[in-house]
Structure 1
């Protein structure tokens, strides 16, 4: 018989952080309102003050809360939230079950990724082109496996961002990863749906590897247009 695993301090901290982050994203605590007092959170969540304080410190670093004299820990205005943070994106996806977050994520992707594809076609080194090609080939090889295909698809888009050689595109990788994970789990539940998206990805890859900026931008725009259409159909 296996010995039951005892929750570690890190596990408890992560659970409390996720719990509070999801509460805020779901609107259970509105901007300007205080979180429950530490003692209340300790009782509710069954953890120590130290764990609660560490979780609140992380929420503050992500722009979600701040401490105010005589008022405690207050939820910040939404404009202060770091929406590019991977945890914040995950909490959004969990809280917004109506798919609203997917619309916003796709809107950002359709603004950024075509430009990134154009720049990648202009600047990508041979090594970067090889990595993009490897990611596409992994998509082809894993088309029958939804989870492995998802990982390969994410890698494809992230490698294109890296191929721009512009470090300011790197934070967008969190958006791409979360958006793809949420949208593909909604739209690509069967292997044949994975295979359908391969030609559009191949066009993007070919244009970047051939050093054709305008063609790469147009191919990425078309790819994302098709993805947005599939999301709309799935949500409706």
Structure 2
């Protein structure tokens, strides 16, 4: 084996290990969230390694990651146990993705948008005060992508998410910016649902009102415009829930 071959092998093996770990993490996380272990004991590391055909070290790392996400707990003499849903870290993008991928829940969608209405209007108001020229350009770029998507020249989902994430970033507040991954993950489901119900994509005019208020440095107008934008989604969800219960 040449020295070059050895270097390549050294690079590839850790990468393969990470892929195996994340593959197992995804498989186990989805199984936990969908209730696979609700009435069954969680397997030991040895059992998991055998079931999935991976090493104990890969299994151990995946279990550690699931424990950090609040899905599992390990106690002496009790082994590894699945935690109740109340203990799961809902701000973790993997956990949120697994929740959204399981049987669709209108309740979860409503709860997510209730969180959005508590976060994004204030982020828009902060953006109106503190956004840099680069931030404003990013928001406008997201809006331009939404306009292009209406013409069929861009992806409607990605464009809409880009717009909202740009506003979180433009708030200038690192705590708001930290919500970007969670909002991006959940919006993939939320936007698909609302677009399907409305029979059309997001209202570009309403998003333009938000952008213009931020560009005009008007925090109150930005807050109101963003609240109206998300309020429209909540109203749509309430209509669906009303039809389902009637």
Q: TM-score range by the shorter chain?
A: 0.7 to 0.9
The answer as to whether partners of 1:146 and 1:189 remain within 8 angstroms in 2 is: no
Q: How has the CA–CA distance of structure 1 residues 233 and 143 changed in structure 2, closer, same or farther, with 3 Å as cutoff?
A: farther
Which aligned pairs between 1:55-204 and structure 2 lie closer than 5 A?
Answer: 55-145=62-152, 148-189=155-196, 193-194=200-201, 197-204=203-210
- Tell me if 1:206 matches 2:199: no
Which aligned pairs between 1:6-85 and structure 2 lie closer than 5 A?
Answer: 8-30=16-38, 35-85=42-92
Output the TM-score relative to the length of structure 1. Answer: 0.85
Post-superposition Cα deviations, 1:143-175, rounded to whole Å, max 9, x if no partner, equal: 244971211111111111111111011221122
Q: How has the CA–CA distance of structure 1 residues 62 and 217 changed in structure 2, closer, same or farther, with 3 Å as cutoff?
A: same
TM-superposed deviation, 1:21: 0.9
Post-superposition Cα deviations, 1:100-126, rounded to whole Å, max 9, x if no partner, equal: 321221110011111111111111122
CA distance in 2 between counterparts of 1:38 and 1:146 reads 49
Alignment RMSD (CA, Å): 2.7
Indicate the SS of the match to 1:112: helix
Post-superposition Cα deviations, 1:57-82, rounded to whole Å, max 9, x if no partner, equal: 11122222222111111223444422
**Pick from 200, 222, 225: which aligns with 1:219?**
225
Q: How has the CA–CA distance of structure 1 residues 78 and 171 changed in structure 2, closer, same or farther, with 3 Å as cutoff?
A: farther
Indicate the SS of the match to 1:70: coil
The answer as to whether partners of 1:145 and 1:191 remain within 8 angstroms in 2 is: no
CA distance in 2 between counterparts of 1:233 and 1:173 reads 28
TM-superposed deviation, 1:30: 4.7
The answer as to whether partners of 1:102 and 1:183 remain within 8 angstroms in 2 is: yes
Q: Runs of 5+ in structure 1 lacking a partner?
A: 1-6
Count of aligned pairs: 228
Q: Runs of 5+ in structure 2 lacking a partner?
A: 1-14
TM-superposed deviation, 1:18: 1.3
CA distance in 1 between counterparts of 2:207 and 2:184 reads 16
Post-superposition Cα deviations, 1:166-218, rounded to whole Å, max 9, x if no partner, equal: 10112211221122100222232599712x51111011001011011111111
Output the TM-score relative to the length of structure 2. Answer: 0.82
Higher gyration radius (CA): 2
Q: How has the CA–CA distance of structure 1 residues 92 and 48 changed in structure 2, closer, same or farther, with 3 Å as cutoff?
A: same
The answer as to whether partners of 1:146 and 1:190 remain within 8 angstroms in 2 is: no
The answer as to whether partners of 1:144 and 1:191 remain within 8 angstroms in 2 is: no
